[in-house]
Structure 1
Amino acid sequence: MKKPQPGGGQIAVLIVLFFLLVWEAAVSLSQIPVYLLPAPSRILQTLFEHPQLYAQASLLTLGEAFAGLLIGLLAGVLIASLLTLMPGLEEGVMTLAILLKSTPLVAIAPLLTIWLGFGILPKIIITALLTFFPVLVNVLSGLQKAENHHLELFHSWHASRGEVFRYLRAPNALPYLFAALKISAPLALIGAVVAEWTGASGGLGRVMWLAYTNLNLPFLFAAIFILAAAGMSLYRLTVWLERRIIFWQSHPEP
């Protein structure tokens, strides 16, 4: 009888645990000062000693990230759909999108903070700008890559442009959409944190900034651990949704 093989999720957990054990041993054996590199046990102790602080900061940052991701996702899908139905607009719109993508967000974030204040709105806008471009490019590629013989078949049925889009192009673009989400979901967390660094009253970015200015590395790494766990969870959630929504495709076991 063939032995069951461990799934990808189990292997990922084992790799992370192995990495943390090596980190712990290296810090202990080398006696690295805590202000240079804290051990994982010290970082976890910090998390357990300040659960309310990190819970409130995490909720705020995750809320900003989700809101920005949703706006970036909707904007990317809508504009990609518009460019597919009206291809004459593609060159001009994509030029503007590339210019926006090429602009450093670390330069835009302080301006938005000055204009809109220290609330969550600037953070959501920065996150949306960061996640918008991958969604736009991937979804547009998926919508435009319909097979010629499928298009000819729809044309032989005298299908309208809207029907071709709904029944052929949109299903064809779903794998590209989820590929974009696998990139954009972790990026949303980065966007929210970077925006919080430029000025915020709360959130993991503010916790990290205050810890950095005080050389409190256990506090800093505790926030990094939360962000890493959130990023991995978002990626796994995206893979899970992909497996259930695009059920007609074969997927490797997670």
Structure 2
Amino acid sequence: MKPRAVWNPRDLLSAGVIVLTFFLLWELGVRLLDMPVYLLPAPSRVILTLFQNTSLYAQATALTLGEALVGLVLGLSAGFLLASVLVLRPGLEGGVMTLAILVKSTPMVAIAPLLTLWMGFGVLPKIVITALMTFFPVLVNILTGLQRTDPALLDLFRAWHASRWETFIFLRLPSSLPYLFAALKISAPLALIGAVVAEWTGASGGLGRTMWLAYTNLNLPYLFAAIFILAAVGMFLYQFLAWLEARAVFWQVPRQD
């Protein structure tokens, strides 16, 4: 079965029209209301700022994206390993999930300054914050996917006298792939947010640092330029994961006419 395209021409045209209309209305509203640039810059002013400071934003984006991706990989690995342990040892689920919810309920804005104080102003605290933000969605989604295996297939594996590990590897893991990609599509944008929030608490570079400096100086074109980049990178990551899902889990991804 050939996997469907994530975007067809109709989707691309519709998305382009919606986005273009939004920015045109924004531009028109700013000009008609004569909005001061320190309150809301026009999109044209923001794009001009991006082109005038390409090197600055390229370096900041590379740093923030690197922190986000490393943190995402760590959060994914921890969530996947812990979910696997909970499936193989169900008696641990109550205590472990309680601890995981406690970590999730703790505001990252409160943890980030502490990690910066303990680990310094390098990339390490940013990676840890990103991993903490992405860990819980991955854990919950993968655990759900591993547990929601077709009962008929489980009975079939039991009839074949498959071991717990064989059932886990050849049945539960493939069945959990849609949940894994759902977790990734949620966690990838969260990873960017985590990296930016961590950079606000203290960093020598990155988009978070750029946004903080722009905010303190009321330089909103610089601030919105960083926001535009984060939005674009987030959309790219989401679409890349959707494209990957369409090929890895093609039997469960519905076709679009």
TM over 0.5, yes or no?
yes
Of 174, 183, 192, the residue aligned with 1:189 is 192
Residue 167 (1) aligns with residue 170 (2): yes
Match of 2:65 in 1: 62
Counterparts of residues 91-170 of structure 1 (less than 5 Å)? 91-170=94-173
After TM superposition, which residue ranges in structure 1, 4 or more long, deviate above 3 angstroms?
none
User: Equivalent residue of 1:152, what SS?
Assistant: helix
Encode CA deviations 1:119-178: one digit per residue, 9 max, x unaligned.
000000000000000000000000000121111111011000011111111011000000
Match of 2:237 in 1: 234
Whole-Å separation in 2 of the counterparts to 1:252 and 1:32: 45
Q: Please report the TM-score for the alignment, with normalisation by the length of structure 2.
A: 0.95
Whole-Å separation in 1 of the counterparts to 2:256 and 2:203: 41
Residue 29 (1) aligns with residue 40 (2): no
Match of 1:179 in 2: 182
Residue 249 (1) aligns with residue 252 (2): yes
Unpaired runs of 5+ residues, structure 1, are: none
Whole-Å separation in 2 of the counterparts to 1:11 and 1:134: 30
Letter in 1 for 2:166: E
User: Equivalent residue of 1:7, what SS?
Assistant: helix
Counterparts of residues 1-40 of structure 1 (less than 5 Å)? 6-40=9-43
Whole-Å separation in 2 of the counterparts to 1:146 and 1:26: 52
Letter in 2 for 1:56: Q
Whole-Å separation in 2 of the counterparts to 1:34 and 1:73: 41
Whole-Å separation in 2 of the counterparts to 1:252 and 1:16: 24
Residue 90 (1) aligns with residue 93 (2): yes
Residue 49 (1) aligns with residue 52 (2): yes
Whole-Å separation in 1 of the counterparts to 2:253 and 2:40: 43
User: Equivalent residue of 2:38, what SS?
Assistant: coil
Encode CA deviations 1:186-209: one digit per residue, 9 max, x unaligned.
000000000000000000000000
Structure 1 residues 252 and 19 mapped into 2: Cα distance closer, same or farther (>3 Å)?
A: farther
Structure 1 residues 198 and 252 mapped into 2: Cα distance closer, same or farther (>3 Å)?
A: farther
Structure 1 residues 253 and 236 mapped into 2: Cα distance closer, same or farther (>3 Å)?
A: farther
- Contact 1:7/1:253 (CA < 8 Å) preserved in 2? no
Whole-Å separation in 2 of the counterparts to 1:179 and 1:135: 9
- Contact 1:72/1:128 (CA < 8 Å) preserved in 2? yes
Structure 1 residues 252 and 12 mapped into 2: Cα distance closer, same or farther (>3 Å)?
A: farther
Note the aligned Cα RMSD (angstroms).
Answer: 1.2
Whole-Å separation in 1 of the counterparts to 2:20 and 2:141: 34
Unpaired runs of 5+ residues, structure 2, are: 1-7
Of 165, 181, 200, the residue aligned with 2:203 is 200
Encode CA deviations 1:3-39: one digit per residue, 9 max, x unaligned.
xx84323322221111001100111111101010000
Residue 214 (1) aligns with residue 217 (2): yes
Letter in 2 for 1:51: T
Whole-Å separation in 2 of the counterparts to 1:79 and 1:173: 14
Identity of aligned residues (%): 69
User: Equivalent residue of 2:162, what SS?
Assistant: coil
Letter in 1 for 2:27: E
Whole-Å separation in 2 of the counterparts to 1:252 and 1:170: 23
Task: Give 1:253 shift.
Answer: 4.1
User: Equivalent residue of 1:31, what SS?
Assistant: coil
Whole-Å separation in 2 of the counterparts to 1:249 and 1:242: 9
